[in-house]
Structure 1
Amino acid sequence: MKRSLVPLFLLLAHTGSIYAEGDAKRAANTVVLDETGVKNLRIETVEVEETDFEATIFSLGRIEAIPSKIAAVSSRIPGRIIELKVSPGDTVKLGDEVAKIESRQPGDPPPVIALKTPLAGLVTRVDSRLGDPIDPEKAMIEITDLSEVYAVARVPEHQAGRMKPGTVAHIKVAALPTEKFDGELLRFGTSADKESGTIDAIFRLTNPGGLLRADMRAEFSIVMSKRSNIVSVPRAALQGEVSNRFVYVKDFDLANAFVKTSVTVGEINDRFVEITSGLLPADEVVTRGAYSLSFAGASSVSLKEALDAAHGHEHAADGGELTPEKKAEMAAKKGGGDNHGHEESGGASPMWMYATGALFVLLLLSIFTKKGRPDDDKDTPAATPVKKEAH
C-alpha cells in the first residue's frame, strides 16, 4: 500500500506546483490600468486575423516628374513682358492666361499678345521678370502635371531579376510621414550603376492632391511574393529582443488589462510580422502604446484590485481565488494585531489547496493501514518439532 501511494503523492504535488506557478506567472505578466492610464498611454488595439502576407525587399529612391507631363510657356514673337500673372507653386488650368507680351512691331500702341498654358498643373519654374525682353527661343514658364509621377528605386541587380512589370511597391515619403502610396513597376532604367551594383526600377503611381513633388526622398517596400492565411500583427505590436519576442494581448474578461504574451516570429515586412505561435485569430493585440506598457507596472492598478472590482469578491495578490482557510488565516492575523505594514503575499490557488488536502488524507490512510496490518512473523504459525521414534 505504501509503495503504491508514492507515485500518487508525487503527481498531486507536481500538479499543485504547476497551478501555483501559473498564478504567479499570470500576475507577473498582466498589466492593469485605470481609465486615465489607458487614455494617457493612448492605447490602441487591433484584432489578430489571417491575412495575405507579403515578402518584401527594401530600397531607397526618389520621386521624379514624368517627362511627357512637363510643358513650357514661350512667346512666338519677340517683345517685352508687360504682365506676369503666376509664380512658382501656383496651380493653373489648361488655357489659363499667365502673361502678356508687348510686341516689338511698330504700332500705337504696339500689339499685345496673351500667353496661355498648354496643360494643367503646377508652375514649377518662372525664368522671366516683368519688363524682361523676350525671344521666341527662350522658355518663360515651366508647368508640370503631377497627377501621376515616377518613383525610381535603386534595386540590387540580383533582386531586379526576380521583378516583373506590374510588381507592386509600397512607397513612403519622408516629407509625408502619414501618407502611403502604391506603385506598379513600369520598366527598368537603360543602364546599371557598376559601382553600386544597382539598377533603376521605375514605378508609376497616382498622386492625388499633388502631394508628391519631384526629388522627394522615398522608401520602397517591393513585394516579391505573397502567401495566404497567415497570422500576422502590425510591427508596432511586436516588443522585446530578438531572443525574447512578445506582444500585449487584451484580456477577454478584465477591463483595461493586458497580458504579456510570448510569440514566435516568422517573416517581417515593412508593415506586418508573421506570428507562427503564441496567438490565435480574434486575439486583440496592443499596437499604439505597446512599448509604454512595459514601464506601466509600477503606476498601474494591481491585478488583485482589478479582479476584486470585476468579480465582486476578494482575491489574492497574485490574482488567485482566496480559500476559506486563507481568509480565516488573514482574519486571524488582522485580529491579533500582527500587521506590521507588510502587504499580504497572496493566497495559493484552489487546486494547490485541494492537492495539499488530498496528500494529507492519503498520508493518514497510509499510516493507519500500516498500523492495522499484522507483522509477518506473528501471522506465521510456529513449527511443531517432530519426535523421532526409537527403533
Structure 2
Amino acid sequence: MKPFLFSLLLTLPALAVDAPPVILDEAGVKNLGIETVEAAETTFEETAFALGRIEEIPSNHAVLSSRIAGRILEMKVFEGDVVTAGQPLVKVESRQPGDPPPSVELKSPIGGLVSSAHVRLGEPVEPEKELLDISDLTEVLAVARVPEHIAGKLKPGTTQAHIRVAALGGEALDGTLLRFGTSADRESGTIDAIFRVPNPGLRMRPGMRTEFSVVLSKRENVLSVPRIALQGDPASRVVYVKDFDLPNAFRKVPVRIGQMNDRFVEILGGLLPADEVVTTGSYALGFAGGSGPSLKEALDAAHGHEHNADGSEISAAQKAAKAAGKGEDHDHAAPSPLLTRFFMASTAILFVLLVIVSMAKLRPAQPETPETT
C-alpha cells in the first residue's frame, strides 16, 4: 500500500505548471551580461583530462661562453632580457698584457630569452665556465601525464589536444602529439605525452602547470551547446532559451544530455537546432526577478491585442463580457489550461486513494485460528 501511495505522489511534480519566462529590460540584459549562441549540429569530441607542465625544446637552448681566460669587462644584458642572434652580450678583457689589454666581445648564438646568468661585472672567467643560458621559447613542449590505458588510444602525428595554461587566461592552444616519454611512472601509472605548441608573446615558461583535454574520438552532426549554458542539478538539467517572440525574454527549458567534453555538452532532447541558448549570464537568470514588463504587457505589445495575466488568449466570452461592461469589477481571466489539468489530475488521484482506503476498510477480517492443546 505505501509504495503505491508513494509512486502516486511522485507523479504530482510532473504535472506542475510551466514557469513563466524571465522578462528583462535593456538595462537588465546589460547588467547580467547576457550572451547567446545558436544550438548547432557540430563535430563533437570525446576528450580525456590530464595535467602536465611546460618544458623548453632541448635544441632551442644555447650557452654563452668565452674562448679566452679573463674577466667580465661589460655586461649588456641580464636575466629576463630578450636577445636576437648575433647581438653583443658580454665583453671579456683578456689576461694578456697590453695598455689597454686586448678584449673580445661575445655575441648571442641564438635569439631568445636570457634564462640565467652565471657571472657578474668584473668576475674572472675561464673557457670552461658558462656565462649565460639562452632559450628560444617561440615554441615549447607541453608534456601531459596521461594514464597508460589512455596512451593506447593516442597516435603521434594525429592526436590533438586543447592545452590551457594559467598565464594565457582563458585562451586554449591546440597541439599535436609529437611523441611519448621514454619511460612510464610506475607509482602513478602514467606516461608522458609530449605536444609541441607555439608560445604567443613568450608568456609560457618552463615549469608552468598545464591542463590538457586530449581528443580521443570525434562524432559528426551532434547537437551541442557550450557547457556554460547548462544549469540545474545532475538529475534535472536546464538551459535558458531566448524567446522567439518576446524581446529580452528567456524561457527555462529542461534538456536531456549525453557526453560532455572540456567545452561542449551533447543535447539528446529538449532543444532544436537554431534555438538561441544563453551562455554568459545563464546562472544569474535563475535568480533574476524580472526587471522588465509583465508577461501580459509583453504579449500585448508583441501581438497587438490583449491577453490574460497568465499569458493566455482572451476568450470570446471574455470579450463579450467586457464589451457589455460586466468585466469592470471582477477578473474573468480564464484559468490556464495547464493549471486546469493539474487540478483535474490531483482530484483523480485523491479519488483513487479514497476508493483504495475504503476497500481496505470493507475487507472482512481473517478469522483467528483456534489454539490446540
Match of 2:44 among 47, 50, 53: 53
Q: How much does 1:138 deviate?
A: 1.1
Counterpart for residue 357 of structure 1: none
Matched, 1:244 2:236: yes
Match of 1:89 among 80, 83, 87: 80
Counterpart for residue 149 of structure 2: 158
What are the within-5 Å matches in structure 2 for residues 262-301 of structure 1?
A: 262-297=254-289, 299-301=291-293
Q: How much does 1:29 deviate?
A: 4.1
What are the within-5 Å matches in structure 2 for residues 165-244 of structure 1?
A: 165-166=156-157, 167-244=159-236
CA distance in 1, matches of 2:177, 2:333: 62
Q: How much does 1:48 deviate?
A: 1.2
Q: How much does 1:323 deviate?
A: 2.4
CA distance in 2, matches of 1:147, 1:266: 39
Structure 1 residues 134 and 352, CA, compared in 2 at 3 Å: closer, same or farther? Answer: closer
Structure 1 residues 347 and 35, CA, compared in 2 at 3 Å: closer, same or farther? Answer: farther
Bigger radius of gyration among the two: 1
Question: Which SS does the other structure have where 1:178 is aligned?
Answer: coil
CA distance in 2, matches of 1:223, 1:290: 27
Identity of aligned residues (%): 62
What are the within-5 Å matches in structure 2 for residues 32-181 of structure 1?
A: 32-166=23-157, 167-181=159-173
Deviations 1:191-239 (A, max 9, x none): 1111111111111112232221111110000000001011010001111
Structure 1 residues 352 and 105, CA, compared in 2 at 3 Å: closer, same or farther? Answer: closer
CA distance in 2, matches of 1:46, 1:92: 44
Match of 1:347 among 334, 354, 359: 334
Q: Is the 8 Å Cα contact of residues 317 and 345 (structure 1) preserved in structure 2?
A: no
Q: TM-score, with normalisation over the residues of structure 2?
A: 0.82
Structure 1 residues 330 and 192, CA, compared in 2 at 3 Å: closer, same or farther? Answer: farther
CA distance in 2, matches of 1:39, 1:116: 56
Q: Is the 8 Å Cα contact of residues 21 and 251 (structure 2) preserved in structure 1?
A: yes
Q: How much does 1:32 deviate?
A: 1.0
Q: TM-score, with normalisation over the residues of structure 1?
A: 0.78
Structure 1 residues 257 and 79, CA, compared in 2 at 3 Å: closer, same or farther? Answer: same
Q: How much does 1:134 deviate?
A: 1.1
Q: CA RMSD in A?
A: 2.3
Counterpart for residue 368 of structure 1: none
Which is helix-richer, 1 or 2?
1
Match of 1:303 among 275, 295, 309: 295
Q: Is the 8 Å Cα contact of residues 317 and 347 (structure 1) preserved in structure 2?
A: no
Match of 2:318 among 323, 326, 344: 326
Structure 1: gaps of 5 or more residues: 1-20, 339-343, 354-391
Q: How much does 1:352 deviate?
A: 11
Structure 1 residues 185 and 285, CA, compared in 2 at 3 Å: closer, same or farther? Answer: same
Deviations 1:90-121 (A, max 9, x none): 11111001111111111110011111000011
Q: Which amino acid aligns with 1:187?
A: R
Structure 1 residues 350 and 152, CA, compared in 2 at 3 Å: closer, same or farther? Answer: closer
CA distance in 2, matches of 1:97, 1:126: 15
Structure 1 residues 46 and 345, CA, compared in 2 at 3 Å: closer, same or farther? Answer: farther
